[in-house]
Every structure is written in structure tokens, then in C-alpha cells.
Amino acid sequence: MKHFKTLSAFFEYMQLPRPEHPMLSVLSATGDQFLPCPRASSPPISTDCYSISLKKTIKGNLNYGRTKYDFTNGALILLAPRQMLQWDSSVVFDQKGFSINFHEDFLKGTELAQQIKKYGFFSYTVNEALHLSPKEEKQIESLVDNIEVEYHNNQDAFSKDIIISQLSTLLKYANRFYERQFLNRKELSNNFLQQFKQQLDDYFESGQLQEKGIPSIEEVAEKMSISQRYLSDTLKKETGKTTTEHLQLYLIDEAKNILLKPNKSIAEVAYELGFEYPQYFSRLFKKKEGLSPTKYREKYKMN
């Protein structure tokens, strides 16, 4: 995979206009204009840059991570450094909107350098992009207009602070709009939870639990073709529990069935469920159920 350490090297590869700033580029298209067209295709690449783009009329599929995404609907795409991107000649880049690209070092020494790491949407795959309403789109575009004015102005002592401030506000709006998107996707959340449980069922029934141990959330999310962060955030918004908590609840439910089998020690139950240490299994069970595995077994037998 080809990796670009500088914004200029990345833009040269993409066959885009050279950035006016060594660590920042702002491209926008309004009215009858279109954004500059990048190279027709690319194998997997990555950069040390962040990218915030509003795509409106692009056609075709891009591969981002291990996922294909159809861009025919307008969406706000936020990409973090060192994330893989590729596309082929089927993609048509006749697009409107904007694209802001900045090197991670552009944020050094600012509060945004730390804050940006807390925004989960930079860990989402492209098919989890933020779909803006017309009103939200105008709010985002007004901020981009401000950034673009500063970008094209002669740089002075205030330029960077103003741009950073506008970027920070833009990301706060994006975070707000993602919250709205999560709240409006109850059906999607339920579907994700069903898929999540089905993946665990398949994993357990295939015998992989005994061979590989408890699956990681990343493995399950990959099987579902979504990012670990987006899956967890979606379930958290709707159910109040993260994917890790749902996995733990699934294991506890399985444990209840196994605990009631005769001649099974607590340690054997733990190992059967993929726990390396029986003590951890017992602590988790008590935390979730309010009583130890032994007490649960005794209580059931008494009833």
C-alpha cells in the first residue's frame, strides 16, 4: 500500500492543484462549478492527513477499508490519517461540494489536536457517512466558506487560529448531526443488534469459540461489514449498552445454560465459554447477575 507523508505529495499523486499551504488545502465548488477531478483510479493508499468532504454528485464505488460505498447520495465524509482508500475507473468524479484536507501536524500545539481524537466518526467506514439535511448542509457550507476565505487570504499571525477555530466548530456541528442521525435510525440499530447476535450464534455453533476463544468486537464488526466504532456507537445510542456489554450479556446467557448441566465445574464452564481465567468469568457473572455462578446454580436447583 502506498503511503503519503505530506499533503503536497498526496495531491501530486491525486493529480490535484498544488495546495496553497504546505499543510492545508480547501477545494470547493458552487453554482456551475465542479471540484477538480483526481486521478481515474488508485490501488490502496493512505496519508498522514485528515479529510472532510461533502460529496454530492459522484457516481461509482469507492473502497474504504474493506467496504464499498456508493456515493450517489450527498454525504459528509470524514477520514483520519492512515486509513486506507482505493477506487477504480468506474468512479465518475463530476462532483460538487467541498473538500478540506489538512496534515495532522497542522493541529500541533492546539486544543483541537487532542479534541479531534475523541470524535468517533473519524473511525467510521465510508458507508457510515453523515447524510445531511439541506439546512444542515448550509450550516456546514457557511463554515467552509469562512475557512476558504482565510485559506486564500495572505497569511498573517491570526490566520491559523481562525482556521482552527472554524474547523473545531465544523466538527462540533458534525458531532451534533451524527447524534441526530443515530436517533433517527432506530430500525437500523435494531437490525445491527440482530446481526450482532446472529454473528455470535454462528461463531459459537461453528466451534470457533473452543478453537480461538471469545471473538473480538472488531472481528464481529468486520463480518457485519461495518466499523467497530460505528457499531458500538449505534447500539449505545439506542440500547444504552456498548457492543462489549452486549457480548458480555450474550456470554452470561450462554453460561446460565451450561451451569445447569450436571457434572460441570465452574472452571469447565468458563473454559467452554472461551475465558482464559475462571476467576474473570466468575467476577463478570456476579457483576451482571448479582450473584456468583455457584450461587446461581444453587438457587436454580432449589427452585
Q: How far apart are CA 89 and CA 42, in angstroms?
A: 8
Task: Evaluate whether 46 touches 71 at the Cβ level (below 8 Å).
Answer: no
- Domain segments of the chain: what residues? 2-183, 186-302
Q: Give the mean model confidence (pLDDT) for residues 137-163.
A: 91
What confidence tier does 195 reach under pLDDT thresholds 50, 70, 90?
confident
Length of the chain: 303
The residues near 248 (Cβ < 8 Å, ≥ 6 apart) are: 284, 288
Q: How far apart are CA 91 and CA 84, in angstroms?
A: 17
Which helix (H) or strand (E) segment holds residue 182: the answer is helix 159-183
Cα–Cα nearest to 79, from 132, 129, 34: 129
* pLDDT on residue 74: 59
* pLDDT on residue 207: 82
Q: Do domains 2-183 and 186-302 have the same CATH topology?
A: no
pLDDT tens string 256-299 = 888 887 778 999 999 888 888 899 999 999 998 889 999 888 87
Q: Cell numbers at residue 103, please?
A: 496534515
Cα–Cα nearest to 111, from 164, 69, 51, 50: 164
Q: Cell numbers at residue 225, please?
A: 461489514
CA atoms within a 13 Å half-sphere pointing along the CA-CB vector of 81: 15
* pLDDT on residue 194: 81
The residue type at 79: L
Beta bridge partners of 61: 70
pLDDT tens string 1-60 = 899 999 999 999 998 889 999 999 999 886 666 677 677 788 889 999 999 988 754 555
Q: Which residue has the higher pLDDT, 154 or 291?
A: 291
Task: Evaluate whether 76 touches 119 at the Cβ level (below 8 Å).
Answer: no
Cα–Cα nearest to 160, from 85, 106, 111, 241: 106
Which helix (H) or strand (E) segment holds residue 162: the answer is helix 159-183
**CATH class as words, domain 186-302:** mainly alpha
Comparing 64-68, 129-133, 223-227, 245-249, which segment has the lowest mean pLDDT? 64-68
| Phi and psi angles of residue 136, each rounded to the nearest 5 degrees, phi first | -65, -40
What confidence tier does 70 reach under pLDDT thresholds 50, 70, 90?
very low
The proportion of the chain whose per-residue pLDDT surpasses 90, expressed as a percent, equals 32
The model carries a pTM of 0.64
**CATH class as words, domain 2-183:** mainly beta
Residue 243 has pLDDT above 70, yes or no: yes
Residue 247 has pLDDT above 50, yes or no: yes
pLDDT tens string 199-239 = 998 988 888 887 888 899 989 988 888 888 888 887 887 77
pLDDT tens string 88-130 = 766 555 567 899 999 999 999 999 999 998 888 887 765 566 7
Helix (H, G, I), strand (E, B) or coil at 93: coil
